[in-house]
Structure formats: structure tokens, C-alpha cells
Amino acid sequence: MRWRGRRQSANVEDRRGRSGASAFPGGRIRLPIGRAGRGGGLSLSSLIILVVLFFGLRALGIDPMEMLAEGPGAPSGGTVESSTANDEMSQFVRVVLAETEDVWTDLFEAEGNSYPEPSLVLFGGQIRSACGFASSASGPFYCPGDKKVYLDLNFFSELANRFGAAGDFARAYVVAHEVGHHVQNVIGVLPRFNQMRQRMSQAEANAMSIRVELQADCFAGVWAHHTAQKGLLEEGDIEAALNAANQIGDDTLQRRTQGYVVPESFNHGTSEQRRRWFARGIESGRPTDCDTFNGPI
Ligand SMILES: [Zn+2]
């Protein structure tokens, strides 16, 4: 990706090196504090209509927020990078976030709405968010409660070395996917999902989670489409990102980590699904083509 010299987002909070002694070993702890916020300024109206059709008949409950974690991420409790380490990587993340701001601002404005930009928190070790405490082992995640993306840059090393997804556009895809969750939060998808999830069986919640995740992948593709139109992509970028989507599919991850596959436990989608929905967004560039809530996925 031709990112050097591009605008860097001012919405990055660098909290690396600030995590103290761990009172929260391994894994993430979900604390139900607060509620999902309002959908905010409605946007992408036709997509919303589709979502409302899907969610419309369900009773709305009052439920805790949940983070959307992409684990497994970087090992927890490992070396915490200093603020100056990975500086090039943090600059890259700032540029990618800025590019998502530009693209989504345009897409929202095309429908007469304004895009509320998310923040992105860089952290190492453990972090406290409005969704509770999390560790690097959670992987990158988005917290609807504070509208922030949380990212440990060590995850990018994991992505390349452990998951076989190298390349800067593979990393850009990860950021764009989390920003996709933010878009879902703004247009009302996540609040509805988090309300409904509490009344669902685990199997139902997993099935719904897959639809949410695949839409975030498609939104990442929408961003990639417009980024490509700006001439920022280099040879192999799309392939690298598609490979990343493939490598973090539930079936591929489970095969790698436990040696067998348990489809009932899938909550992000198979490699084939993730790759396909990401590709759909790349081809179309239109958020309305990212309706994962109606029909087969
Ligand atoms: Zn996700």
C-alpha cells in the first residue's frame, strides 16, 4: 500500500507501555457495564431498512454491551512495546485510520449524513475499555460503548508469523474490519445485536455473530474498493488481504489451534465466507451490497 506521506489520523490514542502489573491473566473478561448507545445519526438508509426487517419482530431487551473481539491475538503478558517501538507500524495504522475516515465520511455524506469518527487505542498487555478489561490475547476488538478500536500492534506479527498473513494490506484489512464494526454501531446494527444476543441460545448468538462479522468484512472490502480507486494499492495488496480474511476464518483457525473443527462454535465465519464477503465489498464499493442479514450467507 502506498501509505507513506499520506495524512495520519489524529484519532489514535497511544497507550502502549502504560499497562501495569497484570491482575487479569490471560483471556478476556467481560464486564457488563452500561448499555449500547443510541444508533446515532441514521445513515445508509437502505441498509438500515434491511436490518430493521431482520430485527424488526424481535423484542428489544436491555442488555450489557459486548466487545467484538477477533481473537486469538498476540500472546498475553508478553513484552510490552515502548511508545517509540513499532513507530513505523503505528504511523501506518494512523494512515489507514485516516483513509477509513475519508472513505466513510464520503459514503455517509452521499446519503446526507455525517460520519462520527472512531478512536483507535494502541495498547500492549492489558487494557481497560468501556467493554471491560481485555488482553492482547483477545486480538483486536471494537467496543461499542466507547466507540473505540483497540489494537495491540504485536497482533500484526502474529498475523504474519502464526497465521500466515503477511503484507501491509493484510494489516490494513484488520483495521478496516474493526472500523466496519464502528460503522455497524453507528447505523444501529450492533445495538440491536447486543440487545438480542442476551435472549438467544449460544448457537443462535453464534449464528448471528457470523452475520455481523461477515458484514464487517464486507465493509472492509468497501473501504478497500475506494482505496484502490485512489491508486493507493500495489501489486499483491488485494491478494494479501484476501489471504488474511481466509487465514482467520473459524475453520482454518480451529484446525490450526486445536486440530479439528467444531462448526457450532463458529462465530466469525468460515474462511470461504470471510473471503467471499470481503471480496464482495471490494468489487462493489457500496455498503448496501453488504446485507448479510437477509438470505443465505
Ligand atoms: Zn469482527
Strand partners, 133: 128
Instruction: Write out pLDDT tens, residues 139-178.
Output: 999 999 999 999 999 999 999 999 999 999 999 999 999 9
Q: ω into residue 263 within 30 of 0, thus cis? A: no
Judge contact between 73 and 34, C-beta under 8 A: no
Q: What is the dihedral of CA 132, 115, 279, 51, to 10 degrees?
A: 80
Count Cβ atoms within 10 A of the Cβ of residue 35 and give its class: 0-12 exposed, 13-18 middle, 19 or more buried: middle
Q: How many CA atoms lie within 13 A of 109 on its CB side?
A: 6
Ligand 1 centroid distance, CA of 5 (Å): 29
Q: What is the pTM of this model?
A: 0.83
d(CA 288, CA 15): 35
In angstroms, what is the span from residue 141 Cα to ligand 1's centroid? 7
Taking ligand 1, which is a single-atom ion, which protein residues have CB atoms under 5 Å away? Answer: 68, 213, 216
Closest CA to 34 of 144, 150, 187: 144
Confidence of residue 29 (pLDDT cuts 50, 70, 90): very low
| Cα gap 207→286, rounded to integer Å | 24
Amino acid at 187: I
What is the 215 CA–ligand 1 centroid distance (Å)?
A: 9
CA of 71 to the centre of ligand 1 (A): 9
What is the whole-number distance in angstroms between the Cα of residue 183 and the centre of ligand 1? 12
pLDDT band at 24 (very low <50, low <70, confident <90, very high): very low
- Edge-to-edge strands of the sheet including 141-143? 12-14, 119-122, 148-151, 141-143, 68-69
**Cα 146–148–149 angle (5° rounding)?**
150
pLDDT tens sequence across 75-96: 655 454 455 555 999 999 999 9
Which residues are registered as beta bridge partners of 143?
148
